[in-house]
A = this chain, B = another copy of it.
Amino acid sequence: MANNTITSPKGFLAAGLSSGVKRSGKPDIGVIVCLGGAKAAAVFTTNKVFAAPVSICKKHVKSGKVFAAVVNSGNANACTGTKGFNDAIEMCSTTARLIGCDPHHVLIASTGIIGEPMPIAKVTRGIKKAFEKTSDSAKAGLDFARAMMTTDTRPKQAATTFKISGKDVTIAATAKGAGMIGPNMATTICVITTDVAISKPLLAKALKEAIGQSLNRLTVDGHQSTNDTAMILASGAAENRPITSQCPRYKKFAKELREICCDLAKQMALDAEGATRMFTVTVNGAATKTDAAKAARAVADYDLVKCAIHGADPNWGRIVCAVGSCGVKLNPEKLSCKIGDITVFRNGQPTKFDAKKASKIIAKKEHTITINLGTGKATDFCYGCDLSKDYVTINADYHT
């Protein structure tokens, strides 16, 4: 099988298995190892209440080299006080002993229930077992992707190979996240591997920009978790001439990274809790880019819009209402709205349009809502998904 998993870039081993943190027995521990040492960068939640592994990972990502990353699902190790902090350190120490490195060279991320103590003995055993199984196979990469999942119904993976200075460079990524997904940061757990040779500051810059234009433009319920982490590990094993400036090679890498992340963001929208379809809100004619982004997000976050899309209902009044209430500058006499290519509201006046045709557009897996604020030239976008009864079912019953 072709490898589109995080083991496809050269220099990485992975594994994923069940350690018993999840009562269901589903996989809940994943490890990635880069024995040659990888340059690393990461972006994190900006929630003021953040999990212990986030505070540890923030520190460790500053190390010159990272030899391993450990991700567990089933328990977020958030709001867990002093014990939680010690448990997160313990996860790094266990991993470091297995590799023979300092704990500072290990990254971690946790996802799952907030506020429950980490069953650290199980996690420690799980990490040890996972290390015995590490491999560069596609199966190992897929096992890792599965081990990150919580309410996700399927793993999200994307990979690409392209040339940089005559060498094949690969980027591969996996992300988890189906609920508690909002804007303002990485949103979710995302692990990216690449074999590109690049300086650490440029790796960090490329990651920040790619996440900003992809996962950071996705909202499921406007919620920002306590655990959001997106990390990238670069092994350098592609042996390209190292990227050390914002040259065309950097731009190529950054573009490929952004596209991989957008691919993941769309996969996440389509697998969001209860979602049956996704949509992109594009806002044009804004006074500022901030306004454009704010309006796009307001529409994508608006429960009534999400319900209408679930019902394939071209109820554009709710879209306009969302735009009007989000605090951005707009010209009511120029305000316009399109569903797909159908103009439903033009210059502040309703149009006569074919509601059945509009309904068919909405009923597709993906469609675009375009809004013009009529006040300027700035533009931005946001991905969203519909709101179904299943979102409620999943989230009313998740804890117990």
Contact = CB atoms under 8 A, between A and B. Distances in A.
A366 interface: no
Contact of A115 (B48, B49, B316): B316
B392 A323 contact: no
A49 B114 contact: no
A79 B347 CA distance: 10
Contacts of A398: 308, 313, 315
Number of copies of this chain in the oligomer?
Answer: 2
Interface in A296-317: 302-304, 307-308, 310-311, 313-317
Contacts of A344: 115
Given A114-B317, A320-B79, A392-B388, A47 B325 contact: yes
Contacts of A303: 221-223, 303, 391, 395
A392 B391 contact: yes
Contacts of A81: 348-350
Interface of A is mostly: loop
A247 interface: no
Contacts of A317: 76, 78-79, 113-116, 226
Interface residues of A, number: 67
A387 B394 CA distance: 12
Nearest to A392: B389
B48 A396 contact: no
Interface in A361-400: 387-389, 391-400
A117 B350 contact: yes
Nearest to A389: B389
Given A48-B325, A114-B320, A325-B48, A308 B399 contact: yes
A392 B395 contact: no
A394 to B, nearest CB: 8
Interface in A74-106: 76, 78-82
A180 interface: yes
A324 interface: yes
Interface string A314-350: 1111101111110000101001000000001100111
A345 B302 contact: no
A224 interface: yes
A50 interface: yes
A226 B179 CA distance: 29
Interface of A: 46-50, 76, 78-82, 113-117, 179-180, 182, 184, 221-226, 302-304, 307-308, 310-311, 313-318, 320-325, 330, 332, 335, 344-345, 348-350, 359, 387-389, 391-400
8 contacts: A50-B324, A78-B321, A79-B348, A115-B320, A115-B350, A223-B325, A313-B397, A313-B399
